[in-house]
A = this chain, B = another copy of it.
Amino acid sequence: MGAVSRASVTLEQVARAAGVSRATASRVLSGNPAVSAEARLAVERAASELGYVLNRAARSLAAGQSAPTGRCQSIGIVILEPTSEFFGDPKFSRLLTGIGEELSARSLQLVLFAPHSPADVSRLENYLAGGHVDAVMVLAHRDDSAHSRIRTQGIPVVFGTQPPDNGGSSFVDVDNRAGGVLATEHLIEQGRRHIAHIAGPSHVRETHDRLQGFRQATWQAGLRSDMVEHAESDRDGGEMAMARLLARADRIDAVFAATDAMAVGALWALQVVGRRVPEDVAVIGFDDSPLAAATRPALSSVREPFEEMGREMTRAVVNLLSDRDQRPRQVRLSPELAPRESTVSATA
């Protein structure tokens, strides 16, 4: 009804209008049961008529829950990757699902930030300094300097990927090396002995770690671990790398590609030369993207536990919030195998 007057109405005025003391009015507004029904009614009516609205700053000051690290019961998540890419990525929604669950269970508010420019970032830093969130989780590509590009003004932070400066920061990350081992051992278990790897660009940490996993697993099994071709992490890259591998060694009976997209490219290259998958060559990818289930034959892959990662990040943040003087928590989550037709022959 009508324009709310801009000048703020104080508790004092409400109390006066209701014919009670400020203390009683305060009790009504904060839900203290020790108030007569009569007084309660008078205060509520006066408050609504005057358009009273609580001054949070004053309340938190008075209630002594005021420190900047104090409770506004909300956690920020800062997305330092190019927004458009990230929002479209299933990784993001899975991560957010996990975070959302865990936050909901704790009645914490989720606040999302997606700064684009350096100016956005510094504006965000100011906002964070304003104490509008209790802590933040930072999601960034691990291979850029984004981590160091944001200063969180002393509020607790948990990273979604291991920051370059291992140092004292908390992070939750996927163990890509373990994933590489998993994929390779799966191929070995299927009886494959001539296993090749299509690796991503070597400066990308994820794919580099997957390569390490491949090397470790082949080495331990006493197999050749040098059947490796690097390529761009897309289909074309995968296709070309597969062709190079076939030229190098004709006996290849399995391929582990560092991403599903590359694996799809490998599938193409194999089809071109008439190799059957999985009968002649088993193929496994990584990421368990929607792509994987859509190919023919369906592509085996390695699935990162993003929901769990989201949950784990949330737990880490909550922990940081409760006991302050605690060691940073550094977690590396193991991926899981998602076996499909491309590695498991029906004739086995």
Q: Which residues of A contact B (CB under 8 A)?
A: 3-4, 6, 8, 53-58, 60-61, 66-70, 72-74, 83-84, 87-88, 92-93, 96-97, 100, 104, 107, 109-114, 116-117, 119-120, 123-124, 126-127, 129-132, 153-154, 324-325
Q: Which residues of B contact A120 (CB under 8 A)?
A: 100, 104, 110
A257 to chain B, nearest CB (A): 25
Picked from B53, B88, B111, B119, the residue with its CB within 8 Å of the CB of A113 is B111
Q: Which residues of B contact A69 (CB under 8 A)?
A: 6, 53
Give the complex CA separation of A120 and B109 in angstroms. 8
Give the complex CA separation of A4 and B325 in angstroms. 8
A34 to chain B, nearest CB (A): 23
Is there contact, CB below 8 Å, between A67 and B55? yes
The 3 closest A-B pairs by CB, nearest first: A112-B112, A3-B325, A87-B87
A70's closest neighbor in chain B, by CB?
B57
Give the complex CA separation of A8 and B129 in angstroms. 14
A60's closest neighbor in chain B, by CB?
B57
A110 to chain B, nearest CB (A): 7
Q: Which residues of B contact A53 (CB under 8 A)?
A: 67-69, 153-154
Pick the most buried of A57, A92, A123, A129: most chain B CB atoms within 10 A of its CB: A57
Is there contact, CB below 8 Å, between B66 and A58? yes
Is there contact, CB below 8 Å, between A132 and B83? no
A6's closest neighbor in chain B, by CB?
B324
Give the complex CA separation of A278 and B215 in angstroms. 55
Is there contact, CB below 8 Å, between B132 and A119? no
A4's closest neighbor in chain B, by CB?
B154
A343 to chain B, nearest CB (A): 29
Chosen A-B contacts, 12 in total, with CB atoms closer than 8 Å, are A6-B325, A8-B66, A55-B67, A57-B58, A58-B61, A72-B130, A87-B88, A87-B93, A100-B120, A104-B119, A109-B127, A111-B112
Q: Which residues of B contact A119 (CB under 8 A)?
A: 104, 107
Q: Which residues of B contact A114 (CB under 8 A)?
A: 96, 100, 110, 112
A117's closest neighbor in chain B, by CB?
B104
